[in-house]
Structure 1
Amino acid sequence: MEDLIFRHMETVRGITENLIKKFPEETADIVPEGFNNSIRWNLGHIAFIQEKLVFGLLGKESSLPEEYEEFFKAGSKPADWTDAPPSMSEIADELSKQKSRIRSFLESSMDVKFPEPFTNKAGIKLYTSGEAFLFSFFHEAMHIETIKLIYRKISSQ
């Protein structure tokens, strides 16, 4: 079953990685009316939250650059950025590297329980590393759809 889950991670992340290639860099930071965030923010947020769900909830250190938290944590937005964010290619590289780190870390340990259940903003409780990892696919898919909507809005203007 674990192999199936990791193949699914590859599929979901492959969709994200292919999406990055479709967007010109000049569209990465546009925040269209009706949105709070940009394409770049959504992609960095995917990487940051998956890192938090897989490693952070078990008290493990993140391998992402430190600035990812400030740029891409929940509640952040490009309007608050005072420094230059990572480039699209840097984010793409982190998303790609994250897959093998996750697989190495979670292989044979999807049933590891958190010290305390984690409750996300939607009120969903996660009890194990596997549950959090599976939830991360849903989270990534939501942001993939948001990215598509942002790009569609930008393209129609």
Structure 2
Amino acid sequence: MKFTFQVLKNTRSIFNKIIENNTLEDLNKIPSGFNNNVIWNIAHVIVTEQLLSYKLSGLKPALSDDMIDKYKKDSKPQGSLTKEEVNEIKGLLLSTIEKTQEDYTNGVFKNYNAYTVSTTGNTLNNIDEAIQFGAIHEGLHYGYVLALLKAVKN
């Protein structure tokens, strides 16, 4: 799992750089043909990891219910985010995955409620599978972010 956590941290570092290297307007813009934006995708990966790891393990996620509702599966952007909201998301990128790794190492995840993911149809049966799928999910959204950025810049 050490490798998987390293992949997740690297992907999240890339998301961090994307936030730093783009304007608030570009992060919030929903280009024609898309139904979300760059910052929604970045917040969505944070929320999804917390739900797949903590909620399905019967544990409390490190995020507010409001944040979860805004960025969970099947949600859409509800207007432009402020710089403060973007900074909150930026701060959660690495802190949440580092906490998940710490909790994983310390054996906090004891139970798991199996969940079938809609994107691939695979059933996650334990925390290891949830974390491994998280890397795939975040890679998928990295691709979305790159497509969004290309559309925003053109």
TM-score between the two structures when normalised by the length of structure 2: 0.87
Cα shift readout 1:25-66 (whole Å, capped 9, x = no counterpart): 111221111111011111110110011111111011011122
Q: Is the 8 A contact 1:114 1:127 kept in 2?
A: yes
Structure-1 residue corresponding to 2:90:
92
Letter paired with 2:116? T
Unaligned 5+ runs, structure 1: none
Q: Is the 8 A contact 1:110 1:128 kept in 2?
A: no
Counterpart of 1:142 (choices 121, 127, 140) is: 140
SS in 1 for 2:16: helix
SS in 2 for 1:114: coil
Aligned length: 152
Identity, % of aligned pairs?
22
Higher relative contact order (CA 8 A, sep 6+): 2
SS in 2 for 1:28: helix
Q: Is the 8 A contact 1:109 1:129 kept in 2?
A: no
Give the superposition deviation at 1:97. 1.1
Give the superposition deviation at 1:149. 0.8
Letter paired with 2:73? A
TM-score between the two structures when normalised by the length of structure 1: 0.86
Give the superposition deviation at 1:141. 1.0
Structure-2 residue corresponding to 1:15:
14
Unaligned 5+ runs, structure 2: none
Structure-2 residue corresponding to 1:121:
118
Question: Quick check: which one's strand share is greater?
Answer: 1
